[in-house]
């Protein structure tokens, strides 16, 4: 499969690049994609949630009323989970949500996601570009020329470019990352992927 290389105005430059079938033409594995996305979302959880149980509540430990003769249930502590202000039963505790996933499964998941995008014709290749200073207006113009203004777009550069990143940060549905940061979640969470020439070359050499 070949794609025409576009410039930032959305016009063809006359150059073409071939997509590696081993990356963009594999039989997609939905379960591998599910596992990789699950791991990505799990690793983004802080796991710092905490609720106090009855042994951690500050309060008196005296018996609040006599055992019998009140006509109501017996109660031994104001810190009981049955009372307002008492401890919580089996409340959340800090934990680590990290999930182990084999390297080959992650590679298969990313290739599967890229293959889905290739089948949907949702991949573009743009010649390398950069901004001398952060300009949101210029970045918005590039998205307009590529017909991506109202879509979730993912621009993949060969290296971190602070000016391009800052230019896109204030645009809804626009995301800019480097090729090293490309994940299955990012691929599946966008409508179209825009690779720069160098980033696509690096991706195809690394796999």
What residues contact 48, with CB distance under 8 A and at least 6 apart? 94
The reported pLDDT for the residue numbered 206 is 75
Model confidence at 155: pLDDT above 80: yes
Residue range 95-154, pLDDT digits in tens: 999 999 999 999 999 999 999 999 999 999 999 888 889 999 999 999 999 999 889 999
Spatial CA neighbour of 186 closest among 153, 150, 160:
153
Q: What is the mean pLDDT of the chain?
A: 91
Model confidence at 182: pLDDT above 70: yes
The reported pLDDT for the residue numbered 50 is 95
What residues contact 164, with CB distance under 8 A and at least 6 apart? 129, 130, 131, 139, 155, 157, 176
SS3 175: strand
pLDDT band at 159 (very low <50, low <70, confident <90, very high): confident
SS3 197: helix
Q: Are the C-beta atoms of residues 157 and 197 closer than 8 Å to each other?
A: no
Residue range 48-107, pLDDT digits in tens: 999 999 999 998 889 999 999 999 999 989 999 999 999 999 999 999 999 999 999 999
Please give the order of strands across the beta sheet that includes 123-126. Answer: 12-18, 2-6, 123-126, 192-196, 153-157, 174-178
Burial (0-12, 13-18, 19+ Cβ within 10 Å), 112: buried
pLDDT band at 161 (very low <50, low <70, confident <90, very high): confident
Q: What is the mean pLDDT of residues 7-28?
A: 88
Spatial CA neighbour of 193 closest among 111, 141, 119, 117:
117
Model confidence at 189: pLDDT above 70: yes
Q: What are phi and psi of 196, to 5 degrees?
A: -80, 160
Model confidence at 44: pLDDT above 90: yes
Spatial CA neighbour of 128 closest among 165, 155, 101, 168:
155
**Pairwise CA distance, residues 185 & 22, whole Å:** 20
* CATH number assigned to the domain covering 2-45+101-206: 3.40.1370.10
pLDDT band at 207 (very low <50, low <70, confident <90, very high): low
- pTM, rounded to two decimals: 0.81
Specify the domain boundaries for CATH 3.40.1370.10 within the chain: 2-45+101-206
């Amino acid at each position: 499969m070949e794609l025409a290389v576009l410039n930032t105005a959305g016009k063809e430059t006359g150059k073409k690049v071939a997509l590696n079938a081993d990356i963009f033409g594999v039989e997609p594995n939905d379960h591998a994609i599910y596992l990789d996305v699950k791991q990505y979302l799990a690793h983004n959880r802080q796991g710092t949630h905490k609720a106090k149980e009855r042994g951690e509540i500050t309060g008196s430990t005296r018996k609040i009323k006599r055992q019998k003769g009140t006509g109501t249930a017996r109660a031994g502590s104001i810190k009981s989970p049955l009372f307002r202000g008492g401890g919580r039963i089996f409340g959340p505790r800090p934990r680590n949500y990290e999930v182990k996933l084999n390297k080959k499964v992650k590679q298969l998941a990313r290739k599967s996601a890229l293959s889905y995008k290739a089948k949907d014709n949702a991949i573009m290749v743009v010649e390398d570009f950069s901004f001398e200073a952060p300009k949101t207006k210029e970045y918005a113009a590039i998205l307009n020329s590529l017909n991506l203004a109202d879509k979730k777009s993912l621009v993949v550069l060969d290296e971190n470019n602070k000016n391009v990143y800052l230019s896109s940060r204030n645009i809804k549905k626009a995301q800019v990352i480097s090729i090293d940061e490309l994940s299955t979640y990012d691929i599946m969470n966008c409508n179209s992927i825009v690779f720069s020439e160098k980033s696509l070359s690096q991706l195809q050499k690394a796999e």
